[in-house]
Structure 1
Amino acid sequence: MNADEASGATTVQPEPGARPGFSRRALAVLIGTAVLAVALDQWVKWLSTEHLTEGRPVRILGGLIYLSLLRNSGAAFSFGSGHTWVFPVITLVVIGWICWMATKLRSIPWAISLGLVLGGAFGNLADRLFRAPGPFRGHVVDMISAFAPYAEKFAVFNIADSCLTVGVCLAVLLELMGRQRDGSKAVRKKAEPA
């Protein structure tokens, strides 16, 4: 009898029948979700730079949301503004990790989650690479501010940030539910007392 059995600890075992490799359908969902997220993010950023003016926020939904055009050199709340080059490097690592995860992806919910994270990462990476002041130093276009016009209550964010947040929250939920990336579900099995 091992220590887990003696203590009655819970072990996690995947359901039988999990297949190796990736599913073309899951991969298509991941790529489609990422492409949609990037397209929506870049379109909203284009609309914002064309129709919003810095310093003149637009109040909507009774002040629940303000559209405030900002160019952010850092992360949330302008954290790390002096080290802009770090964010594209981190993003490239995240993109590499998602590509590696896709090699065994068979779950549609996981494909949506990883697609949102991938799309959000690419959306902000595009700003870092192609916007002023230059490659790897570009400022991210943010425009959505909740409850106040200039991040007094919450960080000003964009569609890519929203995709990243929703994707990560979905991944945490899937982990808590025992959903595996290969399409199987972890089964919690109580060790039998000796």
Structure 2
Amino acid sequence: MMAGPRPNALSWLGLSAVLVAVDQWSKWLAVSRLEYGNPVPFIDGFWNWTLVHNYGAAFSFLSSAGGWQRWFFTALAIVISTGLVVWLARTPRSDWRSALPFALIIAGAIGNVIDRIRYGYVVDFVDWYVGTWHWPAFNVADSAIVVGAALLVVLSFKSPDTTGKGG
């Protein structure tokens, strides 16, 4: 007698879809309500809403590379997301330590791919700063990628629960 198929972690893509929707909604708000480059204080001395266009990758890496980087980063995000979806398909549904970070990274990558295809750049609008020092502007998708990557590292130090008791 053959065992039935094991439930995989593809259901975590539901979280990815929700985060992509939140990311795109927040970017729509930023584009429709903010004036490009004009900071709007949210928490004085720490946080502004500032609409900027990122033609590169993290920290505006390669932002002035002449345009080829748009398609390079789009292709890279699609390849990575596809690989993570395949990995989710091979991951047991109960393995949230792998599935959650993958879902976050997929959401962030796809959210920014939508921008690159739609606008030719990524819409960023969260501007954190202290004094005159500003962290590079970012968005919900960027946050999902960073949190997902951090969780991958942090959760890799704890062995998965094999008892079935959770935790």
Q: Which category of TM-score, normalised to the shorter sequence, fits these structures?
A: 0.7 to 0.9
CA distance in 1, matches of 2:151, 2:75: 24
Q: TM-score, normalised by structure 2?
A: 0.84
Structure 2 unaligned residues grouped into runs of 5+: none
Partner of 1:27: 10
CA distance in 2, matches of 1:164, 1:118: 8
Is 1:39 the equivalent of 2:21?
Answer: yes
Structure number, greater radius of gyration? 1
- Does the 8 A contact of 1:59 with 1:67 survive in 2? yes
- Matched to 1:88, the amino acid is T
Partner of 2:106: 118
Matches within 5 A, 1:131-170: 131=119, 138-147=120-129, 152-170=133-151
Is 1:100 the equivalent of 2:82?
Answer: no
CA distance in 2, matches of 1:105, 1:76: 28
CA distance in 2, matches of 1:22, 1:53: 50
Structure 1 SS opposite 2:56: coil
Counterpart selection for 1:64 from 14, 23, 46: 46
CA distance in 2, matches of 1:176, 1:74: 32
Question: What value does the CA root-mean-square deviation take over the aligned residues?
Answer: 2.3
Structure 1 unaligned residues grouped into runs of 5+: 1-20, 132-137, 186-194
Mark the CA change 1:66 to 1:149 in structure 2 (over 3 Å): closer, same or farther.
farther
CA offsets 1:84-107 (integer angstroms, 9 cap, x no match): 221011101111210220122121
Task: Give how far 1:108 is off.
Answer: 2.2
Is 1:54 the equivalent of 2:43?
Answer: no
CA distance in 1, matches of 2:131, 2:21: 25
Mark the CA change 1:86 to 1:112 in structure 2 (over 3 Å): closer, same or farther.
same
Task: Give how far 1:61 is off.
Answer: 1.6
Identical positions, percent: 33
Counterpart selection for 1:128 from 112, 116, 119: 116
Task: Give how far 1:155 is off.
Answer: 1.0
CA distance in 2, matches of 1:95, 1:156: 23
- Does the 8 A contact of 1:22 with 1:103 survive in 2? no
Task: Give how far 1:37 is off.
Answer: 0.9
- Does the 8 A contact of 1:22 with 1:104 survive in 2? no
Task: Give how far 1:149 is off.
Answer: 9.8
Partner of 2:154: 173
